[in-house]
């Protein structure tokens, strides 16, 4: 498209000496002193020079363009625009800074158009301070200049700065445009303090309605996404349902909202609706990633396979995020080998693909294999990301590989220059805590340079539950009740610890606190996929039409297994009840109902696959081990943390979970 002109710097027309701008004394740019004879011809050909520079930029020949620039007395706005663009294409910050200094020296310091380009440029290089400097030095700040800085700050995660600047813009009477709204909505979630900014987001939503932008698909889609990120699913769906115009992006945003907020069933339902009711809408790779996430969350293997087929038919199977999501989907549906096969068939892999595989092995309890894959990734020259360490440390934790985990944790900064984040500390606390090294876990928290967040305290409390440590549990829960006052799970964990220690006063106190704050325990729930449908069970499920049949089967199996040595672990019932009543309660656990359903509804040789929303209780674990031997059935249970693969009376977790 662009004609190639080979730049002949030595023969090129030279500018007249009088037209040559004086470089400022501070400017490092060297203007070539040209002889007067050459300068005469140059006076008329500066437009050609500009064209030549522009052409070189378009060809990606930045170095030659810059050389020629030093001979050009009157670069135009367009020349600078293309130079700036070229610097980002070439990923050269040094050249970008040179162009910036050059345009300042040539009197373009108040050019608002170039100011927006410079802000975008510095945003690209991650130099937000420089972007802000350009903004501050620009006197006439058009909405374009504001929007450019909003975009830069939002991308950089400085949401609060955007919102304070936005307030100032409003007070100066500068009206927002449709672009401003998308940036400031995104700014509300590009920050750490989500609670206060949700209120701000709602205010901006009101402004959008007042300005009559509710029919604008970009803005409303951003609104759906903002509410999704705050976890306000009902608000997101309200906005979505009222959108007069929806496109594939809006549908994808709403599907992602469900998938990301623990509502995978609704995500799949909405995807079905999108396919059925809108035949002119074609789902794309982004849509498919969320749909795969939903299948993974539900362990819906058959659905996942159908989606995989669709992805192949649509030719979306060469897109990296889609393949990574496929690897995860298969692994989380219990088909680790299929996940590995998808990974093996990839032409190219990025760090995310590797992370998918590492965590897949981790969740199945193959810690050593996960470390091997991590090492292989490094050997192949792929640098680990912070998430690689979350994945591999998590794998160590599931497999009880404490020493290996400690070495990896230390290597993060030493070898790879990655500072451990709160997530990594949470992994370490989990790793040590599960291994009953609770004092060491507590020491890690005390020595942390970062503020330990809810994840860290939650890991400690979870470990205290496993090993029944009241003292540390009280320490952790006191912090958790401050940080997450509405997370019912924390209260339940502490109550369980008190109950197991026989401290019934403590149980009463915590339950009272739970009630006073209007919170409820999340009921145990298990899912199973059969005949391409997903069946869900809750504990002591009175509304299930098959409950009597399932219960009768469980009583029969339990009685027979007791003769073979199964002893019901009634201690998991944390109520002051008699043994018989406790036994009745544990037999009604959702996971056992799902196992019974699986025994009735799966064919011979077909494994039973169950998903559970909580950690597997000791009795269900022991019961399922017995069942797998007693009925000669393979049973895969994915609890909230990991997989348990029961076969012939043994579990893959080695009773460590």
Partner DNA sequence: TTAGGGTTAG
Point out which residues bind DNA (CB under 7 A): 112-113, 116-117, 120, 142-144, 147-148, 151, 177-179, 182, 186, 216-219, 221-222, 225, 228, 247-250, 252-253, 256, 260, 283-287, 289-290, 292-293, 296, 319-322, 324-325, 328, 350-352, 355-356, 359-360, 362-363, 385, 387-388, 390-391, 394, 423, 426-427, 430, 455, 459
Q: Sign (positive/negative) of CA torsion 536, 539, 545, 549?
A: positive
Residues 291-324: b if buried by 16+ CB within 10 A, e if exposed? bbbbbbbbbbbebbbebbeebeeeebbebebbbb
Residue 307 · residue 293 · CB < 8 Å = no
Backbone dihedral angles phi then psi of residue 651, each to the nearest 5 degrees: -110, 145
Of 109 and 350, the one with the shorter C-beta distance to DNA is: 350
Of 179 and 630, the one with the shorter C-beta distance to DNA is: 179
The residue among 587, 597, 586 whose CA lies nearest residue 633 is: 597
Of 68 and 294, the one with the shorter C-beta distance to DNA is: 294
Q: Which residues pair with 534 in a beta bridge?
A: 529
Question: Nearest approach, Cβ of 428 to DNA (angstroms)?
Answer: 11
Of 329 and 472, the one with the shorter C-beta distance to DNA is: 329
Chain centroid to Cα 113, Å, comes to: 35
Of 437 and 615, the one with the shorter C-beta distance to DNA is: 615
Of 623 and 643, the one with the shorter C-beta distance to DNA is: 643
Question: Nearest approach, Cβ of 510 to DNA (angstroms)?
Answer: 23
Dist. CA 271–CA 252, nearest whole Å = 8
Element (H, E) at 137: helix 128-137
Residue 125 · residue 93 · CB < 8 Å = yes
Question: Nearest approach, Cβ of 327 to DNA (angstroms)?
Answer: 7
Question: Nearest approach, Cβ of 212 to DNA (angstroms)?
Answer: 14
Question: Nearest approach, Cβ of 657 to DNA (angstroms)?
Answer: 12
Q: What is the 3-state secondary structure (H, E, C) of 507-521?
A: HHHHHHHHHHCCCCC
Residue 460 · residue 444 · CB < 8 Å = no
Question: Nearest approach, Cβ of 435 to DNA (angstroms)?
Answer: 15
The residue among 307, 361, 444 whose CA lies nearest residue 645 is: 361
Q: What is the 3-state secondary structure (H, E, C) of 62-87?
A: HHHHHHHHCCCCCCCHHHHHHHHHHH
Question: Nearest approach, Cβ of 385 to DNA (angstroms)?
Answer: 6
Residue 310 · residue 268 · CB < 8 Å = no
Give 468-493 as a DSSP string: T-HHHHHHHHHHHHHH-TT-HHHHHH
Of 178 and 517, the one with the shorter C-beta distance to DNA is: 178
Residues 16-38: b if buried by 16+ CB within 10 A, e if exposed? bbeebbebeeebebebeebeeeb
For the chain, what is the radius of gyration of the CA atoms? 31
The residue among 566, 644, 651, 656 whose CA lies nearest residue 612 is: 644
Q: Identify the three-state secondary structure at position 645.
A: strand
| DSSP classification of residue 452 | P
Dihedral-angle region of residue 126 (phi above 0 means left; psi in -120 to 50 means alpha; beta otherwise): left
Q: Identify the three-state secondary structure at position 610.
A: strand
Question: Nearest approach, Cβ of 605 to DNA (angstroms)?
Answer: 29
Query: Can you list the alpha helix ranges (DSSP code H) found in 278-350?
Result: 285-298, 301-313, 320-332, 336-344
Question: Nearest approach, Cβ of 208 to DNA (angstroms)?
Answer: 12
Question: Nearest approach, Cβ of 153 to DNA (angstroms)?
Answer: 13
The residue among 318, 154, 265 whose CA lies nearest residue 533 is: 265
Of 31 and 213, the one with the shorter C-beta distance to DNA is: 213
Of 247 and 436, the one with the shorter C-beta distance to DNA is: 247
Question: Nearest approach, Cβ of 270 to DNA (angstroms)?
Answer: 13
Of 92 and 247, the one with the shorter C-beta distance to DNA is: 247
Residues with Cβ within 8 Å of 476's Cβ and at least 6 positions away in sequence, in order, are 457, 458, 460, 461, 464
Residue 465 · residue 493 · CB < 8 Å = yes
Question: Nearest approach, Cβ of 120 to DNA (angstroms)?
Answer: 7
Question: Nearest approach, Cβ of 235 to DNA (angstroms)?
Answer: 15
Question: Nearest approach, Cβ of 225 to DNA (angstroms)?
Answer: 4
Of 388 and 477, the one with the shorter C-beta distance to DNA is: 388
| DSSP classification of residue 570 | G
Of 23 and 386, the one with the shorter C-beta distance to DNA is: 386
Q: Identify the three-state secondary structure at position 331.
A: helix
Q: Which residues pair with 527 in a beta bridge?
A: 536, 611
Of 147 and 303, the one with the shorter C-beta distance to DNA is: 147
Dist. CA 85–CA 73, nearest whole Å = 21
Of 383 and 600, the one with the shorter C-beta distance to DNA is: 383
Of 178 and 556, the one with the shorter C-beta distance to DNA is: 178
Of 20 and 255, the one with the shorter C-beta distance to DNA is: 255
Question: Nearest approach, Cβ of 526 to DNA (angstroms)?
Answer: 19
Question: Nearest approach, Cβ of 579 to DNA (angstroms)?
Answer: 35
């Amino acid at each position: 498209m662009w004609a190639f002109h080979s730049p002949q710097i030595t023969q090129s027309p030279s500018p007249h000496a009088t037209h040559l701008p004086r470089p400022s004394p501070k400017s490092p740019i060297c203007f070539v002193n040209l002889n007067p004879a050459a300068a005469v011809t140059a006076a008329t050909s500066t437009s050609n020079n500009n064209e030549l520079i522009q052409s070189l930029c378009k060809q990606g020949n930045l170095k030659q363009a810059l050389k020629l620039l030093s001979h050009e007395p009157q670069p135009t706005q367009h020349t600078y625009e293309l130079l700036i663009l070229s610097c980002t294409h070439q990923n050269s910050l040094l050249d970008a800074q040179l162009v910036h200094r050059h345009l300042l020296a040539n009197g373009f310091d108040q050019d608002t158009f170039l100011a927006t380009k410079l802000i975008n440029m510095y945003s690209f290089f991650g130099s937000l301070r420089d972007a802000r400097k350009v903004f501050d030095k620009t006197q006439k700040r058009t909405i374009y200049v504001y929007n450019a800085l909003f975009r830069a700050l939002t991308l950089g995660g400085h949401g609060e700065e955007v919102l304070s600047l936005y307030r100032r813009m409003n007070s100066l009477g500068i009206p927002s445009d449709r672009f401003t709204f998308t940036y400031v909505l995104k700014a509300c979630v590009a920050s750490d303090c989500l609670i206060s900014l949700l209120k701000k987001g709602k205010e901006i939503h009101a402004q959008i309605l007042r300005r009559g932008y509710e029919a604008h698909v970009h803005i409303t889609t951003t609104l759906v996404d903002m509410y999704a990120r705050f976890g306000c699913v009902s608000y997101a769906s309200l906005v979505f349902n009222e959108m007069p115009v929806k496109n594939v992006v809006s549908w994808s945003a709403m599907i992602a909202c469900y998938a990301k907020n623990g509502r995978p069933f609704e995500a799949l339902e909405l995807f079905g609706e999108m396919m059925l009711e809108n035949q002119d809408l074609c789902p794309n790779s982004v849509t498919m990633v969320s749909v795969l996430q939903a299948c993974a969350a539900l362990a819906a293997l058959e659905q996942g396979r159908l989606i995989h087929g669709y992805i192949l038919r649509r030719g979306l199977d060469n897109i990296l995020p889609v393949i990574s999501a496929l690897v995860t989907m298969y692994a989380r549906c219990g088909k680790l080998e299929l996940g590995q096969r998808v990974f093996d068939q990839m032409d190219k892999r990025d760090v995310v693909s590797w992370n998918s595989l590492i965590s897949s092995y981790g969740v199945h309890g193959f810690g050593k294999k996960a470390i091997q894959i991590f090492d292989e990734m490094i050997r192949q020259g792929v640098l680990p990301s912070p998430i690689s360490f979350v994945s591999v440390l998590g794998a160590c934790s599931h497999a009880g590989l404490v020493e290996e985990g400690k070495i990896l944790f230390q290597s993060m900064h030493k070898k790879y220059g990655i500072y451990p984040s709160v997530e990594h500390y949470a992994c370490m606390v989990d790793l040590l805590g599960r291994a009953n090294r609770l004092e060491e876990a507590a020491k890690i928290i005390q020595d942390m340079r970062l503020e330990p967040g809810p994840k860290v305290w939650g890991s400690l409390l979870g470990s205290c539950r496993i090993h029944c440590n009241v003292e540390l549990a009280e320490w952790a829960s006191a912090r958790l009740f401050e940080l997450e006052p509405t997370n019912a799970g924390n209260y339940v964990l502490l109550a369980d610890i008190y109950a197991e220690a026989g401290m019934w006063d403590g149980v009463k106190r915590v339950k009272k606190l739970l009630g006073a704050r209007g919170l409820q325990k999340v009921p145990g729930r298990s899912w199973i996929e059969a005949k391409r449908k997903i069946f869900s069970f809750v504990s002591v499920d009175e509304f299930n039409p098959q409950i009597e049949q399932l219960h009768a089967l469980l009583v029969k199996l339990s009685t027979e297994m007791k003769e073979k040595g199964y002893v019901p672990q009634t201690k998991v019932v944390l109520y002051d009840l008699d043994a018989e009543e406790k036994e009745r309660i544990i037999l009604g656990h959702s996971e056992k109902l799902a196992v019974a359903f699986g025994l009735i509804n799966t064919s011979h040789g077909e494994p039973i696959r169950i998903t559970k929303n909580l950690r597997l209780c000791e009795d269900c674990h022991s019961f399922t081990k017995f069942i797998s031997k007693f009925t000669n059935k393979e049973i895969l249970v994915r609890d909230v943390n990991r997989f348990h693969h029961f076969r012939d009376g043994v579990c893959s977790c080695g009773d460590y979970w």
